[in-house]
């Protein structure tokens, strides 16, 4: 059997993290293919419902990434995202889902290598956790 | 039903190499609503665009999905394409299969699979896209140029000439940048300064340019046409409107710093102008935001760094004046201070701390002996009268500060000699009475009234004092011995430490004092008692204390280390970790002490709680026991004042030193704290500030709690030089009488010691500049200013750093003075440089000069790129040597001479013909420069060794150290080499990915001056494209409210960072409702409100819940 490959949905803010992911490409830094990116204007746009929906619809992990604190293009969206994701993780834990399946990161437009590192790390971590089965909670 | 067209770009092989675009296009045909799906080699090219346009027309497409490069690259292109055919530009969705797929994944099957998944997600979203109308916003017709080198100067002048207001922000005190440091420029050999300085002057005079030097970008918000930039205008500590650049201040500044303009080859002062032609012609004081540890650690806030610097330049009178500014007892504190400043002195990180106390003593003694210290009589100018109770250090410190404020001050003291412990207790071998009296009398001579032999509470009541005076300071000290009850102490031969010291000071010897003396206690008073006992004729003196001798432990002896060491030196015997159990006596006279073993003294929180155990402990023989276990205050008569729990100290407010009676203040040893002279001085001075404010009826607390950050890192790498040794009286001599132990520094020793100071905070605030500046332009308490500016376009022109050759030890840089960097050579050869243009090394003209190229460039392990300018500047520098030293032997080690520019090859040929030996070597071949007695030997593989007396390294250009920080602030990208990234390497070489921000000069990549100037003009022109438009179209992806769903909870209002949402009242079906309303002009389209809305009533157009959920569905399912 092929090795288990986790499916990751990433929500990246347009100004920092999406640009950082682009930079990884421009710099030709390779990383696992497991991540598929949805571009949002700001990490503050990420509704906790998106995270839950992603897990429900088949993702094994969700990455939300925004600008570093103090550098949000929209002043404070990353602070909000940080709080919302923390809460979401708590909720997941209550529901019996390992909260490490959701990850919040700060990746700036100049941190292409950081983006690749985060994805690589996250894939390894999710492989460790194995596929997400929602049978338990249904 | 929508009709979707899918277009997959191959991007030559950029995408095609790892994504099977044909397969992607084929699969896309099966996705819902897809009418047509195609792939093409270059979708962004004209034929590619035509393909899309034709389909829109023929197939009546109303949604387009383009899978190509990042939308950050070509979204505007494809939006224009669909718009051209009458489609709404927001009905386009892009899929990033280049930057985020083909360039990062190396395997065709997985790359293709991922591309298909992403296209499917985009198709599902596209079906839900809605047409949107673009917004128009006004453009602020103002530019900002960051960086004042030649690039920034050129850009600013160009934009200014176009008629737009331009701010030129420069980090250092002057514009000019690297070009101002160069001697000549290649290949024309123009004098760099001659062509640059006129442009610098143009900047200063330009009506449209506002120059902001010594300023940095603090934050950037907003977007193209409407940035809000906050600039931090660093304090120069100079009022620039008054400074006439006369330079008198520099002459008088004692602080010597390396001169960055001359590549640290010469020195400058802490107050300086960077170079003679600097623009603006204004001085700057280099002063760090953090404080020198010595200064802020001093309880009296004495400016040690300041007076040490003044002693270093022989300004002893000024040094003493600066000391007296905060400490009226320099003779005393120069001898008995517990000097916490020395504990924190950063020189200790290099070798040893400065001998600060002894330097203070030197300043006091020198001026006293030379009679350069006459007191200045102060006549009270105010009506209020203040009483000070106690003429000790705290009382007199408070008194002199109040007298200086113009108050009439009267000091009451119970004894006939003022000075408190300074004159009554402190042993004369440490502080002779006449020296203490010198400081005290000087204060009294200034105009303080002293009423002696009057004990408040006995001779006059405290109440009476309060009635007679407008405010009172109580500083009666702690001079009563604390008594310890020990079994058997009702015998003769028992003395109390404080009483013993006081009597000894007067020359009185108690008849109970014998020959074998036991001191009980481990603090400084115990040490004093021991040493005094020795000098009073004690044959054997022992100290018994609970605490341990290991001063690193929590149970350490409280005495200062030098006190302990001196005692040990003098033969005093220590019995540590023992407590007194019982006094042994015979016939009513002490014969010894029975002890018990102490296992612990202090609890973890520092509370005194000794514990003992019963094991046998030594018995110490002795005929006299002196208790020196502490002292307390005599608070009789002061019952009206509230005390702290325990009743030993007076309750005060710890900031203002105000007691429970508002007009009464207290300080010194009667308040909680470590008893010490300098603490007492500090508390007295602080209380004086409170009293003044109290009498002026202003807030006595305001602004008195400062946020103090101490300097933690030593700035300079200094050679080791331990502290100057203090001459001391020999042990065998000094124990015979009360002569001083420390003999003080000679003038020369003091200066040498003072010169060890590393001036942590740079400017020492010695205030000499204030004294000299006739224009009164010095403002030492100036604050950094923050200015918020509205900016339409930004040009980044921050330049480069030079490669640091110390990271390549093979070149011997830093090891031998004969090896210098290219920038150092520029200064060396410049007429305004350290040698006024004479090429000399160690004062000698070099005969053999070797240039080594590619230092730090073209290095696969470091900076892989070519720095582009080194070949030509080396040719220029070789020519300069040939010109100035015609008989020298010149060698250039090079790999490939890259003479690519206009006139470069011709210049290179000319230089080669000047008998300059160009030797080729491979970059990877070993090369080394080794110093010897005569100079250096340059060993390069394949070439004979060369003896040289000067080696110039062609150091490359590297990105600015802080460019990462700036890239974050501006939200612009950096390429892998660390330079700022242009939006397209060919077609948008000065744009960044953030609209409205442009690049000029070496911050983008290394380049020479002509290229820099050309790029600067180009960036200026790009900026003017924006500034010249009245309005710009900006994103239509703003938030919108579905009023039928909104419940008026205002969660969105709270979450909006731009206050773009408000609650309004609407009427529906005859009822009124509160609903949210978005002001589209203010909304920037972040979508935060949409995430906060529980009902899904407010939605982010272009990124609605439904659209994103469709993407999630697609990506989750695969």
pLDDT at B836: 93
Q: How far is B56 from chain A (nearest CA, A)?
A: 26
* Separation in Å, CA of B211 to nearest CA in chain A: 26
Supply the DSSP symbol for B291.
B
> What order do you get walking across the sheet with B449-451 strand by strand?
B449-451, B408-412, B385-389, B471-474, B664-666
Tell me which residue of B469, B475, B474 sits closest to B382, measured CA to CA.
Answer: B469
Residue B987, number of CB atoms within 10 A of its CB: 8
Residue A22 to residue B99, Cβ atoms within 8 A: yes
Lowest mean pLDDT across B199-213, B742-756, B1073-1087? B1073-1087
pLDDT at residue A33, as a whole number: 93
Across the interface, do B971 and A59 touch by the CB < 8 Å criterion? no
- Report whether pLDDT(B470) > 70: yes
Q: Which residues of B are less than 8 Å from A57 in CB distance?
A: 1112-1113, 1115-1117
Chain B: residue nearest A7 by CA?
Answer: B1116
Q: How far apart are CA B967 and CA B835, in angstroms?
A: 39
Tens digit of pLDDT for each residue in B124-174? 999 999 999 888 889 999 999 999 999 999 999 999 999 999 999 999 999
As a whole number, mean pLDDT of residues B426-430 equals: 94
In this complex, is the C-beta atom of B483 within 8 Å of any C-beta atom belonging to chain A? no
Chain B: give the shortest CA distance to residue A124, in Å. 17
- What 3-state DSSP class applies to B42? coil
Chain A residue closest in CA terms to B1111:
A38
Q: How far is B1112 from chain A (nearest CA, A)?
A: 6
Q: Is B120 on the interface with A (CB under 8 A)?
A: no
The residue among B93, B100, B966 with the most chain A CBs within 10 A of its CB, best to mutate, is: B100
- Distance CA(B245)–CA(B281), nearest Å, equals 6
B104 closest CB neighbour out of A7, A24, A42: A24
Phi then psi for residue B1117, to 5 deg, are -70, -20
- Whether the CA torsion B912, B917, B923, B929 is positive or negative: it is negative
Residues of B in contact with A70 (CB under 8 A): 219
Q: Which residue of chain A has the CA closest to B105?
A: A30
Q: Which of B382, B402, B385, B379 is nearest to B468 (CA)?
A: B385
Residue A138 in this model has a pLDDT that exceeds 70: no
Find residues 606-635 of chain B whose CB sits inside 8 Å of chain A.
none
Cα B727 to Cα B746: distance, rounded to the nearest angstrom: 9
pLDDT for the residue numbered B147: 98
Q: Tell me what pLDDT residue B688 has.
A: 97
| Cα distances (angstroms) measured from residue B1000 to each of B149, B151, B1009, B1017 | 10, 6, 11, 8
B449-451/B619-621 β-pairing: unpaired
B48 contacts: CB under 8 Å, gap ≥ 6: B7, B9, B40, B41, B42
Specify whether the CB–CB gap between B306 and B322 falls below 8 A.
yes
At B896-952, the pLDDT tens digits run: 999 999 999 999 999 999 999 999 999 999 999 999 888 999 999 999 999 999 999
Chain A residues closer than 8 Å to B1087 by CB: 40-42, 44-45
Sequence-ordered alpha helix ranges (H) in B973-1104: 1009-1027, 1051-1055, 1088-1092
Interface mutation target, options B969, B992, B1087, B1100, chain A, most CBs of A under 10 Å? B1087
Q: Is the pLDDT of residue B1083 over 90?
A: no
Q: What is the ipTM of this complex?
A: 0.96
Of the residues A3, A9, A10, A42, the best mutation for testing chain B's interface (the one with the most B CB atoms within 10 Å of its CB) is A42
**Paired tokens of B1097:** 């009533």
Express as a percent the part of chain B with pLDDT over 70.
Answer: 100
For chain A, say whether B859 makes contact (Cβ under 8 Å).
no
B74 shares contact with chain A (CB less than 8 Å):
no
SS3 content of chain B, % helix, strand, coil (to 5): 30, 25, 45
pLDDT, residue A135, reads 61
Q: How far apart are CA B256 and CA B309, in angstroms?
A: 9
Q: Which residues of B touch A41 (CB under 8 A)?
A: 1037, 1085-1087, 1100, 1103
Q: Cβ of B995 under 8 Å from any chain A Cβ?
A: no
Evaluated on CA atoms B324, B330, B334, B339, the torsion sign reads: negative
What is the predicted pLDDT for the residue at B1059? 84
Tell me the pLDDT tens digit for each residue of A18-44.
999 999 999 999 999 999 999 999 999
Which residue of chain A is at minimal alpha-carbon distance from B223?
A73
| Alpha-carbon distance values, B939 to B25, B841, B953 (Å) | 62, 20, 14
Q: pLDDT digits over A115-136, tens only?
A: 999 999 999 999 999 998 876 4
Mean pLDDT (whole number) for B623-645: 92
Vertex B754: Cα angle to B752 and B760 (nearest 5): 135
- Name residues whose C-beta falls within 8 Å of residue B645's C-beta, 6 or more positions apart in sequence: none
A116: which chain B residues are within 8 Å (Cβ-Cβ)? Answer: 104
**Cβ atoms B263, B821 nearer than 8 A:** yes
pLDDT in tens, A71-112: 788 878 999 999 999 999 999 999 889 999 999 999 988 889
> Residue B434: CB partners within 8 Å, gap ≥ 6?
none
What is the per-residue pLDDT across B404-414, written as a single tens digit (0 to 9) for each?
999 999 999 99
Tell me the per-residue pLDDT of B1022-1069, one tens digit each, with 9 for 90 and over: 999 999 999 988 778 999 999 999 999 999 999 998 888 999 999 888
Q: What is the dihedral of CA B24, B28, B30, B32, to 10 degrees?
A: 160
Distance from CA of B14 to the nearest CA of A (A): 11
Nearest to A57 among B71, B1105, B1112 (CB): B1112
Flag if B1091 and A75 touch (Cβ within 8 Å): no
Closest-approach residue (CA) in chain A for B1039:
A45
Nearest to B1118 by CA among A2, A35, A7: A7
pLDDT digits (tens, 9 = 90+) for B788-817: 999 999 999 999 999 999 999 999 999 999
Query: How many A×B Cβ pairs under 8 Å?
Result: 165
Confidence check: pLDDT of B1118 > 60: no
Contact predicate B764/B315, CB 8 Å: no
Contacts of B1100 in chain A (CB under 8 A): 41, 45
Test mutation, A12, A26, A107, chain B, max B CBs within 10 A:
A26
- The rounded distance, in Å, linking the Cα atoms of B10 and B23 is 12
Residue A67: list chain B partners with CB under 8 A: 971
B1103/A59 touch (CB, cutoff 8 Å), yes or no? no
Contact across the interface for B117 and A36, Cβ inside 8 Å: yes
pLDDT, residue A1, reads: 47
| 3-class secondary-structure state, position B919 | strand
Contact A74 B968 (CB under 8 A): no
Nearest CA in chain B to A132: B1116
pLDDT at B936: 96
d(CA B960, CA B1002): 9
Q: Cβ contact (<8 Å) for A74 and B1088?
A: yes
Closest-CA distance of chain A to residue B1091, Å: 4
Model confidence pLDDT, tens digit, residues B210-245 = 999 999 999 998 888 999 999 999 999 999 999 999
DSSP structure string for B941-1004: TTS--EEESEEEEEE-EEE-TTHHHHHHHHT--B-TTSSBPPSBTTTBTTB-SSTTEEE-GGGT
Q: Name residues whose C-beta falls within 8 Å of residue B775's C-beta, 6 or more positions apart in sequence.
A: B242, B243, B244, B246
Q: What is the mean pLDDT of chain B?
A: 94
pLDDT given at position B551 = 87
Any chain A CB within 8 A of the CB of B18? no
């Amino acid at each position: 059997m092929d090795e288990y490959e986790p499916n990751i949905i990433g929500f990246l803010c347009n100004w920092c993290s999406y640009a950082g992911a682009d930079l990884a490409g421009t710099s030709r830094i390779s990383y696992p293919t497991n991540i598929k990116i949805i571009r949002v204007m700001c990490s503050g746009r990420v509704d906790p419902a998106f995270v839950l929906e992603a897990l429900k619809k088949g993702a094994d992990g969700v990455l939300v990434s925004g600008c570093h604190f103090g550098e949000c293009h929209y002043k404070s969206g990353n602070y909000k995202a940080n709080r919302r994701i923390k809460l979401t993780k708590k909720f997941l834990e209550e529901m019996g889902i390992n909260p490490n399946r959701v990850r919040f990161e700060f990746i700036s437009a100049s941190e292409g290598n950081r983006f690749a590192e985060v994805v690589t790390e996250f894939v390894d971590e999710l492989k460790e956790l194995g596929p997400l089965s929602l049978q338990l909670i249904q | 039903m929508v009709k979707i067209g899918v277009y997959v770009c191959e991007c030559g092989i950029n995408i095609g190499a790892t994504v099977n675009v044909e397969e992607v296009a084929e699969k896309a045909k099966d996705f819902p609503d897809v009418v047509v799906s195609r792939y093409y080699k270059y979708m962004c090219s004209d034929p590619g665009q035509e393909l899309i346009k034709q389909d829109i027309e023929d197939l009546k497409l109303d949604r387009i999905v383009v899978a190509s490069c990042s939308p950050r690259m070509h979204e505007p292109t494809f939006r224009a394409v669909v718009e051209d055919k009458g489609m709404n530009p927001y009905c386009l969705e892009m899929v990033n299969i280049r930057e985020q797929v083909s360039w990062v994944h190396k395997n065709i099957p997985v790359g293709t699979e991922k591309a298909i998944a992403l296209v499917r997600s985009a198709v599902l979203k596209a079906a839900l896209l809605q047409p949107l109308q673009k917004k128009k916003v006004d453009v602020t017709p103002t530019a900002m140029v960051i960086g004042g080198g030649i690039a920034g100067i050129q850009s600013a002048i160009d934009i200014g000439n176009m008629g737009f207001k331009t701010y030129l922000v420069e980090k250092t005190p002057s514009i000019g940048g690297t070009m101002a440091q160069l001697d000549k420029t290649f290949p024309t050999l123009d004098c760099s300064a001659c062509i640059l300085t006129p442009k610098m002057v143009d900047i200063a005079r330009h009506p449209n340019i506002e120059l902001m030097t010594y300023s940095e970008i603090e934050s950037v918000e907003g977007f193209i046409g409407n940035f809000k930039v906050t600039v931090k205008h660093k304090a120069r500590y100079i009022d620039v409107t008054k400074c006439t650049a006369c330079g008198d201040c520099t002459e008088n500044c004692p602080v010597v710093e390396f001169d960055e303009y001359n590549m640290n080859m010469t020195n400058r002062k802490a107050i300086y102008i960077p170079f003679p032609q600097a623009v603006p012609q204004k001085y700057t004081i280099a002063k760090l935001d953090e404080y020198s540890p010595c200064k802020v650690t001093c309880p009296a806030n004495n400016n040690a760094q300041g007076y040490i610097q003044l002693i270093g330049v022989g300004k002893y009178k000024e040094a003493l004046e600066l000391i007296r500014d905060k400490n009226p007892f320099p003779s005393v504190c120069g001898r008995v201070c517990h000097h916490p400043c020395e504990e924190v002195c950063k020189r200790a990180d290099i070798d040893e701390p400065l001998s600060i106390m002894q330097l203070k003593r030197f300043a006091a003694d020198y001026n006293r002996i030379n009679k350069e210290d006459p007191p200045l009589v102060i006549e009270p100018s105010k009506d209020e009268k203040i009483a000070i109770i106690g003429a000790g250090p705290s009382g007199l410190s408070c008194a002199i500060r109040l007298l200086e404020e113009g108050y009439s001050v009267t000091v009451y003291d119970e004894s006939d000699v003022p000075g408190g412990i300074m004159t009554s207790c402190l042993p004369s071998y440490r502080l002779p009475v006449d020296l203490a009296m010198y400081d005290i009398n000087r204060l009294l001579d200034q105009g303080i009234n002293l009423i002696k032999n009057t004990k408040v509470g006995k001779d006059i009541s405290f109440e009476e004092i309060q009635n007679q005076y407008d405010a009172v300071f109580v500083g009666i000290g702690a001079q009563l011995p604390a008594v310890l009850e020990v079994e058997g102490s009702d015998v003769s031969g028992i003395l109390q430490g404080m009483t013993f010291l006081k009597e000894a000071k007067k020359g009185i010897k108690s008849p109970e004092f014998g020959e074998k003396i036991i001191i009980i206690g481990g603090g400084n008073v115990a040490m004093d008692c021991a040493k005094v006992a020795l000098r009073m004729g004690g044959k054997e003196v022992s100290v018994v204390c609970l605490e341990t001798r290991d001063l690193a432990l929590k149970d350490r002896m409280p005495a200062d280390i030098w006190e302990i060491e001196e005692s040990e030196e003098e033969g005093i015997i220590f019995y540590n970790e023992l407590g007194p159990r019982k006094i042994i006596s015979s016939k009513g006279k002490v014969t010894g002490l029975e002890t018990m073993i102490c296992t612990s003294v202090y609890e973890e929180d520092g509370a005194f709680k000794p514990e003992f155990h019963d094991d046998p402990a030594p018995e110490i023989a002795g005929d006299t026991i002196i208790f020196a276990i502490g002292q307390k205050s005599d608070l009789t008569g002061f019952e009206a004042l509230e005390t702290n729990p325990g009743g030993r100290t007076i309750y005060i407010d710890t900031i203002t030193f105000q007691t429970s009676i508002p007009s009464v203040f207290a300080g010194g040893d009667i308040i909680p704290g470590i008893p010490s002279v300098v603490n007492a001085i500090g508390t007295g001075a602080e209380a004086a500030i409170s009293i003044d404010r109290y009498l002026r009826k202003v807030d006595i607390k305001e602004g008195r709690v400062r946020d103090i950050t101490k300097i933690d890192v030593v700035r300079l790498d200094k050679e080791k030089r331990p502290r100057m040794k203090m001459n001391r009286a020999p042990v065998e001599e000094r124990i015979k009488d009360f002569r001083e132990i420390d003999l003080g520094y000679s003038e020369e020793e003091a200066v040498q010691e003072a010169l060890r100071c590393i001036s942590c905070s740079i400017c020492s605030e010695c205030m000499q500049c204030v004294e000299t500046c006739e224009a009164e332009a010095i403002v030492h308490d100036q604050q950094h200013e923050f200015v918020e500016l509205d900016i339409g376009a930004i040009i980044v022109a921050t330049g480069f750093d030079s490669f640091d050759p110390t990271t390549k030890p093979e070149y011997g840089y830093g090891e031998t003075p004969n090896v210098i960097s290219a920038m150092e050579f520029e200064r060396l050869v410049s007429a305004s440089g350290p040698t006024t243009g004479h090429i000399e090394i160690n004062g000698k003209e070099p005969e053999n000069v070797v240039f080594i190229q590619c230092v730090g460039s073209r290095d696969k392990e470091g900076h892989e790129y070519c720095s582009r300018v080194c070949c030509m500047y080396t040719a220029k520098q070789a020519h300069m040597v040939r010109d100035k030293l015609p008989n020298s032997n010149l060698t250039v080690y090079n790999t490939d001479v890259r003479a690519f520019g206009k006139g470069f090859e011709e210049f290179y040929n000319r230089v080669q013909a000047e008998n300059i030996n160009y030797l080729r070597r491979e970059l990877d071949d070993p090369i080394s420069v080794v110093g010897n007695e005569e100079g250096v030997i340059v060993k390069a593989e394949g070439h004979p060794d060369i003896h040289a007396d000067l080696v110039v390294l062609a150091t490359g250009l590297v990105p600015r150290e802080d460019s990462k920080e700036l890239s974050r602030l501006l939200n612009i990208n950096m390429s892998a080499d660390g330079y700022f990234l242009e939006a397209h390497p060919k077609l948008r070489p000065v744009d960044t990915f953030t609209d409205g921000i442009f690049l000029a000069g070496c911050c983008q990549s290394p380049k020479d001056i002509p290229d820099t100037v050309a790029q600067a003009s180009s960036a200026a022109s790009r900026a003017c494209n924006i500034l010249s438009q009245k309005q710009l179209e900006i994103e239509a992806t703003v938030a919108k409210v579905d009023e039928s769903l909104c419940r008026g909870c205002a969660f969105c209002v709270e979450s909006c960072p731009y206050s773009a949402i408000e609650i309004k009242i609407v009427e529906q079906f005859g009822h009124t409702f509160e609903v949210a309303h978005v002001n589209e002009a203010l909304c920037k389209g972040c979508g935060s409100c949409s995430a906060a809305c529980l009902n899904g009533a407010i939605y982010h157009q272009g990124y609605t819940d439904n659209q994103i959920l469709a993407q999630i569905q697609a990506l989750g399912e695969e």
